[in-house]
Chains A and B, each alone.
Chain A
C-alpha cells in the first residue's frame, strides 16, 4: 500500500481514527474500559476482557519498558522493532528510535517519541528514557 493509502486508512477508520488524530496533535491515547477498568491494546470499541461497550480514550503517560526487541539488520536502513509494556498496562508493538542499537536491553525504560511522516501521519515510537 502507498503511504497515502495507509494514512487514509488510519484517519478514516471510525473505530480508531481518534487515536491517530490525537497523535498528530501530540496526544498519545490508550483505550480503557469504564466497566472493568482495564486498558487494552490495540484500541477497540468493545473491551476484549469483559466485552463492555463502555470504553473510552485516556491520555497515556508515554512511559514504558522494553518487553522484547530486535534490530532488523537485513533492511536497507536497519531499525529497532520492539514490544513495549506501557505504564498503563498493555504491551504494544513499536519502534525504538534515537538510540544506540547495541545498548538496547529488555527491561530498559523508554518514553514516547512521536515521529511524523511526510504525509502528516504521526506514529507512536519510543526512545530510551
Chain B
C-alpha cells in the first residue's frame, strides 16, 4: 500500500511574526492552526486528526488539544527534531489512507528568540538520561561544532571549499530580499560570507541560520475534501523517513539520513531527481544543504560544492531553485525546527503563490526534505515529494 495520491495538502500557513514576546507558545500554535484552516477554507470542527512534535507545550498532543478545544480521533507526536513536520505530512497521509482521520492538522510554534536564545544555532536540550549524554556534553559539543565537523570532513574528502558553501547563503539571500517577513533581507556576496567571523572552523557566522519566534501549520486531507475546497490541489506523491546515528562508533560524517529517506520517497512517488522543479532543503547551516543535495541524488557524492556554486540554487538563474522564501538561513527558523517552513514554501511554489520574483515557472513537482537533530550524530531525515494536480 502506498500513500501516493491518497492525501492532499489543502492548507498552509506561516506565522508572520519573527519575535513574539507578547504571545504564549500555546497561543502561537493556535494562531497558526487557525491560519492554516482559513487558508484551506475549513473550520476547527472539521479537524479529526492532530500532529505535533517536541515544540508543542505539554505531553504530546494533550495540552494543545485541550487549549484549542479540539476533539480528534487520531493523534501522532512523532518527534525527530526539525524534520518532524515533514514526517507528519506522510503520517497524516497514511492515517487518511487508512480512514483513521479525514482532516489532519499539523502545528509548529515557539518563541526561542523572546526566551533569550540569540545565536544562530539551536541550543542543545540534552536529557541526562539519554545514553549518549556524558560522551558528548563533557566535550563541549554544541549544534554548531557538530555540524562544523561534518563540513570539515567533507572538505577533507572531497575538496569542498568555503567559497562553495557561501554560494548557498548567497542564493538564500537572493530569495529573502523579496520576502517582507524575512529576518535578513539584505543581499550578500560570497566575499561577505567569507569575511564574516569563523565561529567554528570551517563555518562562518553567515553559514548559520537565524533564530526566530513564530511557527507554521498544515492541513492534510483526503482527495474528496480537497477537491471540494477552492484551493489549488497539492497532492502527496511519496515520502520517506530514516534515522542515522553513530553506528556503535563506526562514524561516517560524509552522508546523512537523506540517502535512505530520499530513495524511499522517490520510489514511492515514481519520479527522479531530474523531475523536481523546486526543492525546500533544511538549512540549519550551509553544509546541511550541500550534504542533502548529494544524498537526495541531485548530484553525485562529493560534487555538491561544484553543484551549488555560481548561483545554481537561485530561482530564475540556476538549475535547481531552493528555499525561495529565504529559508532558515535568511527568513525564519521557528523554534530551531525548519521542517514546517520547508513544506509551506514548497506548497506556495506548487500553487503558484510564491513571490513573483522567485516563483518557479510551471512548478509541477517539488520536494521538501528535513534533517532533524545533529547531522554528525543522531538525526532524523524526512523527505516529501508533492505534485500540483
Q: Which of B12-20, B195-203, B256-264 contacts A (4 or more CB under 8 A)?
A: B195-203
Residue from A39, A49, A71, A93 having most chain B Cβ neighbours under 10 A: A93
Could you tell me if A95 and B149 are in contact, using CB atoms closer than 8 angstroms? no
List B363-378 residues whose CB lies under 8 Å from chain A.
Answer: 376
- Quick one: closest A residue to B128, CB to CB? A9
- Quick one: closest A residue to B136, CB to CB? A93
- Quick one: closest B residue to A107, CB to CB? B156
Say if the beta carbon of B65 comes within 8 Å of chain A. no
Instruction: From known contacts A70-B145, A70-B200, A106-B152, infer whether A81 and B250 are also in contact, taking CB-CB under 8 Å.
Output: no
Residues of B within 8 A of A44 (CB): 131, 248
- Quick one: closest B residue to A38, CB to CB? B248
Instruction: From known contacts A67-B251, A89-B249, infer whether A95 and B137 are also in contact, taking CB-CB under 8 Å.
Output: no
Once bound together, how far apart are the Cα atoms of A79 and B141, in whole Å?
A: 10
- How many residue pairs link A and B with beta carbons under 8 A? The number is 105
Residues of A within 8 A of B248 (CB): 38, 40-41, 44, 48-49, 90
Residues of A within 8 A of B139 (CB): 81, 93-95, 123, 125
Once bound together, how far apart are the Cα atoms of A10 and B137, in whole Å?
A: 12
**How would residues 115 to 129 of chain A score, 1 for a CB under 8 Å from any chain B CB and 0 otherwise?**
000000001010000
Main secondary structure of the interface of B (DSSP, over half): mixed
Instruction: Name the interface size band of chain B.
Output: 35 or more
Residues of A within 8 A of B150 (CB): 68
Residues of A within 8 A of B144 (CB): 72, 74
- Quick one: closest B residue to A49, CB to CB? B248
Partner of A90, one of B128, B134, B200, B249: B249
Partner of A70, one of B136, B138, B148, B251: B148
Could you tell me if A83 and B201 are in contact, using CB atoms closer than 8 angstroms? no
- Quick one: closest A residue to B254, CB to CB? A68
Once bound together, how far apart are the Cα atoms of A73 and B149, in whole Å?
A: 13
Residues of B within 8 A of A125 (CB): 139
Partner of B152, one of A1, A10, A41, A68: A68
Once bound together, how far apart are the Cα atoms of A86 and B136, in whole Å?
A: 16
Residues of A within 8 A of B148 (CB): 70
Residues of B within 8 A of A39 (CB): 249
Say if the beta carbon of A58 comes within 8 Å of chain B. no
- Quick one: closest B residue to A92, CB to CB? B249
Residues of A within 8 A of B198 (CB): 73
> How far, in Å, is B126 (CB) from chain A's closest CB?
9
Once bound together, how far apart are the Cα atoms of A85 and B145, in whole Å?
A: 18
Once bound together, how far apart are the Cα atoms of A24 and B33, in whole Å?
A: 53
Could you tell me if A73 and B152 are in contact, using CB atoms closer than 8 angstroms? no
List B105-149 residues whose CB lies under 8 Å from chain A.
Answer: 119, 128, 131-142, 144-145, 148-149
Could you tell me if A42 and B145 are in contact, using CB atoms closer than 8 angstroms? no
Instruction: From known contacts A41-B248, A89-B249, A93-B135, infer whether A70 and B140 are also in contact, taking CB-CB under 8 Å.
Output: no
Residues of A within 8 A of B202 (CB): 70
Say if the beta carbon of A65 comes within 8 Å of chain B. no
Could you tell me if B153 and A73 are in contact, using CB atoms closer than 8 angstroms? no
Could you tell me if A41 and B199 are in contact, using CB atoms closer than 8 angstroms? no
Partner of A6, one of B134, B199, B247: B134
Residues of B within 8 A of A38 (CB): 248
Could you tell me if A73 and B134 are in contact, using CB atoms closer than 8 angstroms? no
> How far, in Å, is B208 (CB) from chain A's closest CB?
10
Could you tell me if B200 and A71 are in contact, using CB atoms closer than 8 angstroms? yes
Once bound together, how far apart are the Cα atoms of A40 and B149, in whole Å?
A: 21
Could you tell me if A83 and B253 are in contact, using CB atoms closer than 8 angstroms? yes
Say if the beta carbon of A112 comes within 8 Å of chain B. no
Once bound together, how far apart are the Cα atoms of A94 and B161, in whole Å?
A: 25
Instruction: From known contacts A10-B134, A42-B132, A106-B156, infer whether A70 and B250 are also in contact, taking CB-CB under 8 Å.
Output: no
Once bound together, how far apart are the Cα atoms of A16 and B203, in whole Å?
A: 34
Residues of A within 8 A of B199 (CB): 72-74
**How would residues 32 to 75 of chain A score, 1 for a CB under 8 Å from any chain B CB and 0 otherwise?**
00000011111010001100000000000000000111111111
Residue from B134, B149, B248 having most chain A Cβ neighbours under 10 A: B248
Instruction: From known contacts A81-B139, A83-B149, infer whether A91 and B251 are also in contact, taking CB-CB under 8 Å.
Output: yes
9 pairs from A and B in contact (CB 8 Å cutoff): A41-B246, A48-B247, A68-B153, A72-B144, A73-B199, A74-B199, A74-B200, A90-B249, A91-B250
Given contacts A41-B135, A90-B249, A93-B141, 10 further A-B contacts (CB under 8 A): A42-B135, A68-B156, A68-B253, A69-B152, A70-B202, A72-B142, A81-B141, A85-B251, A89-B249, A93-B139
Report which B residues bind A (CB closer than 8 A): 119, 128, 131-142, 144-145, 148-150, 152-153, 156, 197-203, 246-251, 253, 376
| Interchain residue pairs A-B with the least CB separation, the first 10 | A90-B249, A41-B249, A48-B248, A70-B148, A91-B251, A42-B135, A40-B248, A68-B153, A68-B149, A74-B199
